Amino acid sequence: MSNFVYMFNEGRADMRSLLGGKGANLAEMTNIGLPVPFGMTITTQACKEYYQSQRSFPAGLKEEILEKLAFVEAKTGKKLGDIANPLLVSVRSGAVFSMPGMMDTILNLGLNEQTVQSLARNTSNLRFAYDSYRRFIQMFSDVVLEIPKHEFEYLLNEQKEDIGVVYDQELTVEALRSLIDKYKELVRSQIERPFPEDPIEQLFMAIEAVFRSWNNHRAIVYRNLNKINHDLGTAVNIQSMVFGNMGNDSGTGVAFSRNPSTGENIIYGEYLMNAQGEDVVAGIRTPQPIAQLQEDMPDIYDQFVRTVHILENHYRNMQDIEFTIEKGKLYLLQCRNGKRTAQAAVKIAHDMVSENLISKQEALLMVEPGQLDQLLHRQIDSSAKLSVIAKGLPASPGAASGQVVFDADSAERIAKTGCKVLMVRMETTPDDIHGIIAAQGVLTSRGGMTSHAAVVARGMGKPCVCGCETIKIDYTNQEFTIGSTTVKVGDLISIDGSTGRVILGEVPMKDPELSTEYTHLLSWADEFKTLAVRANADTPEDAAKARAFGATGIGLTRTEHMFMGSDRLPHVQQMILAETQEERQQALACLLPIQENDFYGILKEMEGLPVCIRLLDPPLHEFLPNLEGLVVETTKLRTSGENPAQLAEQESLLKKVRQLHEFNPMLGHRGCRLGITFPEIYEMQIRAIFNATAHLTKEGYTILPEVEIPLTIDKEELAFFQKRIAAIAEEVTKDFGVEFHYCIGTMIETPRAALLADELAEFSDFFSFGTNDLTQTCMGFSRDDAEGKFLPPYLEYKILKENPFIALDRKGVGELMKIAVERGRKTKPNLITGICGEHGGEPSSIDFCHHLGLDFVSCSPYRVPIARLAAAQAAVSQGESLGTR
Ligand code: PEP
Ligand code: MG
């Protein structure tokens, strides 16, 4: 029989796939002797089997729960449902990968009409007992019985009004008793049976509700966003209750062992006295900073600080800790590796190496490469004049501007139209997740740094300002006010999540300043990585940016972008429309100095580093006006009869565009096929590259150009170009009287090229995998159409696990790459191999390229730091595949 239930003293931290993150850590904390209220964990396997057996408990599960419950009861000296000394428990979800707030929790389970009296007797506090009972009924009814929360809120507010009080804490014993009766009446009317009184029945119903909550809407959205497998299931933790709401010597809080926003090594947290469970994270009351605890309860504070250090040293990572103080005694309810901003992630990883807590390799593995993106984006220009209207808590750094919206559905709807929105809420709940995804940032008027909005925004790397209490939100009129200023829905505002500022209008931004911790961490990445990281850059400015971000070469210069500017497009069009070779040569002669100048700039920026320049690739019609527009214009001219000369010109253009029209241009007249049909175009480009190289060499620079032939399918294509390239190199050498170095290679973008790599390598110094096209040609998916048309259902039905245009398809495209590398190197052992498709900047694909033994990855300049870190992680993680879950 499988083991579905583990008591806390039976588990370990490394059992997280079975016990979930929370269960594994509760077990670990129990085993290192920390004060954890005792309990047990039902495994994720039980949840999976619950779903496999059409939502029923797997055989043996109930018996095992009861058996282990008896141990928990023995250990705590209390018994579920016992009249003298009742055990009360919390029932909480606990997934393998943390999904904060996405699933359900029930507190105070075990209360009924009898045990509530025992609780009152044992604590000498009838008010506390009734308050706990009414909270339990409310929570259980919402989560388990699925009766809407607001029905209970309505009764609660009515009760407060009846006795003329404002706050929940002011409800009297009698008022609470009457409220409990009203709650029960509501339940009976909704489910046509009384509220369950039997604690064992309550327990089984609650466990099932937690299993069900794995598949609630917000949990599914969260998993999709974070690429968490939907089949993992959740564990369920059943833990004996401790109470933070037993009076003013009790409380509950959440803390991080270091600041999760900046990374500063100071315990960072918040707590509320006389409060229970979710009150702190729910963001309903703004809590006290943890430093205040030192004054309120100095002994508890000292014990807490010691415990935090024990946990950080034990886990060698920044910890997120939930605690409760019950009548002056500290308990730990949960710990896990804390979510943090990119800035904090880098600082913490760096500082922990300086503190000799972790190695450089561990530090490199501690930062998610994709997170670095947040650091490289623009920030508010400090020299700009800003109209700051309010200040809240700086909950997640970065700046964002957008139109104000007041609810998640509007955020999603308006963002879909292409507008940037900022979501403004009193507080957010897990049901708002789709709005946070759609918004540029979040502003809340309530809640602390650990409120839902803050935690989720940080996780997504979005700016967030929370607890901005000076703004008064009016949902009905769709506006908020600060003093005499009113901001209406649709108005533009900006937030600065690094300082907490709320600013009227849009703000000017500037390039970010990178910390020394960042520079150190990335220099460690360079120490360990074996893949070189190059950049895709088409201009000297991009090349300079790439170099500044740490690129050690250019992996792809797309020369077609140089054909587009207004000073060159007319020559390009003239070249395409030319009727004779002379006409074409004339146009090319005009383009030559322009191209030469382009290459001069890029090669100079990258002095001493390889620069791979691809000869013209896209179909020529891309440089001409579009067919539909031309037909309309020509028809207009023809019917007006006013300008016969212009009409003749238009008609000849139309004829040419029709000639060039293709049914399937991506598989048509493009790539090196262009160079074969119009050799003079490639010859002009090759000459421009070599002229620029010779020029710079003469000026004393070390220039390393690589001439790249796109979309090949056969070695004879390469043989065709090789002769011409050699001849032009010789001519340029003579013209300039200077020798220079160059090499020739090809892109591998078709399955045939990959399969015939041994032959292609006879004519190539390097291969660069153009995995955008290779994915298209391998899968038969048009790269221009797939994502907008049929890929979404492929992903939804899990026919494909990931979008192959984002994460490399290892089984198909990856296999072709493997074959090409092996066959190519058989012919030429020192063949250089790299990747320059979009996958070259995607961490899990970089991991694959590392294990394939490529020499370089190439990606856009802003992704270079991400690629450096991902390449280092691939090297230090010793074969473990990162980035896939
Ligand atoms: C590729 O196909 O992967 C590539 C880099 O070339 P492009 O995207 O320009 O076709
Ligand atoms: Mg391509």
Which tens digit of pLDDT belongs to each residue from 206-260? 999 999 999 988 888 888 888 888 999 999 999 999 988 888 899 999 999 999 9
Query: Token pair for residue 278?
Result: 């979710």
Q: How far is the CA of 158 from the centre of ligand 2 (A)?
A: 67
- Count of CB atoms within 10 A of residue 783's CB? 17
In sequence order, the β-bridge partners of residue 335 are 321
* Ligand 1 proximity of 772 Cβ (cutoff 6 Å): yes
Take atom 4 of ligand 1 and give the residue whose Cα is closest: 770
Query: Token pair for residue 742?
Result: 């160059």
What's the distance, CA 258 to chain centroid?
22
Using alpha carbons, list the distances in angstroms from residue 646 to 627, 659, 836: 17, 20, 44
d(CA 691, CA 403): 51
* Ligand 1 proximity of 837 Cβ (cutoff 6 Å): yes
* Stretch 737-760: mean pLDDT: 98
Q: How far is the CA of 616 from the centre of ligand 1 (A)?
A: 12
d(CA 339, CA 586): 61
In sequence order, the β-bridge partners of residue 106 are 91
| Residue 884, pLDDT score | 30
| Residue 446, pLDDT score | 84
Helix pair angle (815-827, 843-852), 10° resolution: 30
| Residue 450, pLDDT score | 61
pLDDT band with cut points at 50, 70 and 90 for residue 281: low
| pLDDT (tens digit per residue) in 549-595 | 999 999 999 998 788 767 788 898 888 888 888 888 999 999 999 99
Query: Token pair for residue 35?
Result: 């004060």
* Ligand 1 proximity of 770 Cβ (cutoff 6 Å): yes
Is residue 439 within 8 A of residue 423, CB to CB? The reply is yes
* Stretch 4-26: mean pLDDT: 94
* Ligand 1 proximity of 836 Cβ (cutoff 6 Å): yes
Take atom 6 of ligand 1 and give the residue whose Cα is closest: 770
* DSSP letter assigned to residue 566: T
Take atom 10 of ligand 1 and give the residue whose Cα is closest: 773
Q: Which residue has the tokens 């503190």?
A: 355
pLDDT-above-70 percentage for the chain: 96
| Residue 208, pLDDT score | 95
Nearest to 251 by CA among 333, 368, 148: 333
Sign of the dihedral through C-alpha 809, 810, 812, 814: positive
Mutate to test the pocket of ligand 1, among 534, 554, 558, 712 (most ligand atoms within 8 A of CB): 558
| Residue 483, pLDDT score | 87
* Stretch 624-640: mean pLDDT: 84
* Residue ranges of the chain that CATH labels 3.30.1490.20: 5-240
Closest approach atom of ligand 1 to CA 769 = 3
* Stretch 520-544: mean pLDDT: 95
Take atom 8 of ligand 1 and give the residue whose Cα is closest: 772
d(CA 155, CA 308): 41
Q: How far is the CA of 666 from the centre of ligand 2 (A)?
A: 9
Q: How far is the CA of 752 from the centre of ligand 2 (A)?
A: 14
Q: How far is the CA of 771 from the centre of ligand 1 (A)?
A: 7
Nearest to 606 by CA among 840, 858, 375, 855: 858
Quick check: is 47 catalytic?
no
d(CA 702, CA 604): 9
pLDDT band with cut points at 50, 70 and 90 for residue 881: very low
* Residue ranges of the chain that CATH labels 3.50.30.10: 377-510
Mutate to test the pocket of ligand 1, among 536, 556, 767 (most ligand atoms within 8 A of CB): 556
In three-state secondary structure terms, 720 is: helix
Mutate to test the pocket of ligand 1, among 836, 839, 859 (most ligand atoms within 8 A of CB): 836
Nearest listed ligand to the Cα of residue 860: 1
* Ligand 1 proximity of 749 Cβ (cutoff 6 Å): yes
H-state helical runs in 549-678 = 569-577, 581-605, 627-640, 644-660, 672-677
* Ligand 1 proximity of 343 Cβ (cutoff 6 Å): no
Using alpha carbons, list the distances in angstroms from residue 682 to 585, 670, 672, 685, 707: 12, 12, 9, 5, 11
Closest approach atom of ligand 1 to CA 837 = 3
Q: How far is the CA of 618 from the centre of ligand 2 (A)?
A: 9
Exactly one of 335, 468, 672, 836 is catalytic; which is it?
836
| Residue 283, pLDDT score | 52
Mutate to test the pocket of ligand 1, among 561, 617, 775, 781 (most ligand atoms within 8 A of CB): 617
Take atom 1 of ligand 1 and give the residue whose Cα is closest: 770
Q: How far is the CA of 835 from the centre of ligand 2 (A)?
A: 11
Query: Which residue type does 807 have?
Result: A
Closest approach atom of ligand 1 to CA 536 = 5
| Residue 159, pLDDT score | 92
Q: Which residues contact 319 (CB under 8 A, 6 or more apart)?
A: 256, 257, 308, 311, 312, 335, 336, 337, 338
Query: Token pair for residue 845?
Result: 């694909």
SS3 labels along 1-46: CCCCEEEHHHCCHHHHHHHHHHHHHHHHHHHCCCCCCCEEEECHHH
CATH of 251-340, one of 3.40.50.720, 3.30.750.24, 3.40.50.300, 3.30.470.20: 3.30.470.20
Q: How far is the CA of 556 from the centre of ligand 1 (A)?
A: 9
| Residue 885, pLDDT score | 26
Using alpha carbons, list the distances in angstroms from residue 460 to 229, 259, 357, 420, 722: 18, 17, 27, 16, 49
CATH architecture under which domain 377-510 falls: 3-Layer(bba) Sandwich (3.50)
* Stretch 82-105: mean pLDDT: 86
Closest approach atom of ligand 1 to CA 711 = 2
For ligand 2, a single-atom ion, which residues have Cβ within 5 Å? Answer: 749, 770, 773
* Ligand 1 proximity of 834 Cβ (cutoff 6 Å): no
Q: How far is the CA of 609 from the centre of ligand 2 (A)?
A: 23
Is residue 244 within 8 A of residue 275, CB to CB? The reply is yes
| pLDDT (tens digit per residue) in 352-361 | 999 999 999 9
What's the distance, CA 538 to chain centroid?
28
Query: Token pair for residue 264?
Result: 């500063």
Nearest listed ligand to the Cα of residue 858: 1
Query: Which residue type does 438 have?
Result: A
Q: How far is the CA of 212 from the centre of ligand 2 (A)?
A: 46
Exactly one of 434, 452, 571, 695 is catalytic; which is it?
452
Q: How far is the CA of 765 from the centre of ligand 2 (A)?
A: 19
Is residue 435 within 8 A of residue 412, CB to CB? The reply is yes
| Residue 883, pLDDT score | 33
d(CA 227, CA 790): 20
In sequence order, the β-bridge partners of residue 611 are 554, 705
Closest approach atom of ligand 1 to CA 558 = 9
| pLDDT (tens digit per residue) in 101-119 | 666 789 999 999 999 999 9
- Least confident piece of the model among 381-390, 686-695, 845-854: 381-390
| pLDDT (tens digit per residue) in 483-520 | 889 999 999 999 998 888 999 999 988 777 789 999 99
pLDDT greater than 90 at residue 728 = yes
* Ligand 1 proximity of 771 Cβ (cutoff 6 Å): yes
Mutate to test the pocket of ligand 1, among 772, 816, 859 (most ligand atoms within 8 A of CB): 772
Q: Which helix (H) or strand (E) holds 687?
A: helix 679-698
Mutate to test the pocket of ligand 1, among 747, 783, 809, 860 (most ligand atoms within 8 A of CB): 747
Nearest listed ligand to the Cα of residue 805: 1
Is residue 180 within 8 A of residue 113, CB to CB? The reply is no
Nearest listed ligand to the Cα of residue 817: 1
- Which string of DSSP letters, residue by residue, matches 245-297? -SSTT-EEEEEESS-TTT--SS-EEEEEET--GGGTTTTSS--EETHHHHHH-
| Residue 180, pLDDT score | 97
* Ligand 1 proximity of 773 Cβ (cutoff 6 Å): yes
| pLDDT (tens digit per residue) in 777-816 | 999 998 877 877 788 899 888 899 888 998 999 999 999 9
* Ligand 1 proximity of 558 Cβ (cutoff 6 Å): yes
Looking at every residue in the chain, the average pLDDT score rounds to 91
- Least confident piece of the model among 129-138, 560-569, 845-854: 560-569
| Residue 209, pLDDT score | 94
Closest approach atom of ligand 1 to CA 838 = 3
Say which CATH topology domain 5-240 has.
Dna Ligase; domain 1 (3.30.1490)
* Residue ranges of the chain that CATH labels 3.30.470.20: 251-340
Take atom 9 of ligand 1 and give the residue whose Cα is closest: 558
Q: How far is the CA of 42 from the centre of ligand 2 (A)?
A: 50
pLDDT band with cut points at 50, 70 and 90 for residue 2: low
Is residue 693 within 8 A of residue 731, CB to CB? The reply is no
| Residue 279, pLDDT score | 62
Is residue 846 within 8 A of residue 840, CB to CB? The reply is yes
What's the distance, CA 661 to chain centroid?
40
Is residue 357 within 8 A of residue 316, CB to CB? The reply is yes
* Ligand 1 proximity of 517 Cβ (cutoff 6 Å): no
| Residue 101, pLDDT score | 67
Q: How far is the CA of 545 from the centre of ligand 1 (A)?
A: 21
Closest approach atom of ligand 1 to CA 836 = 5
* Stretch 425-444: mean pLDDT: 87
| Residue 124, pLDDT score | 87
| Residue 882, pLDDT score | 35
What's the distance, CA 302 to chain centroid?
37
* Ligand 1 proximity of 610 Cβ (cutoff 6 Å): no
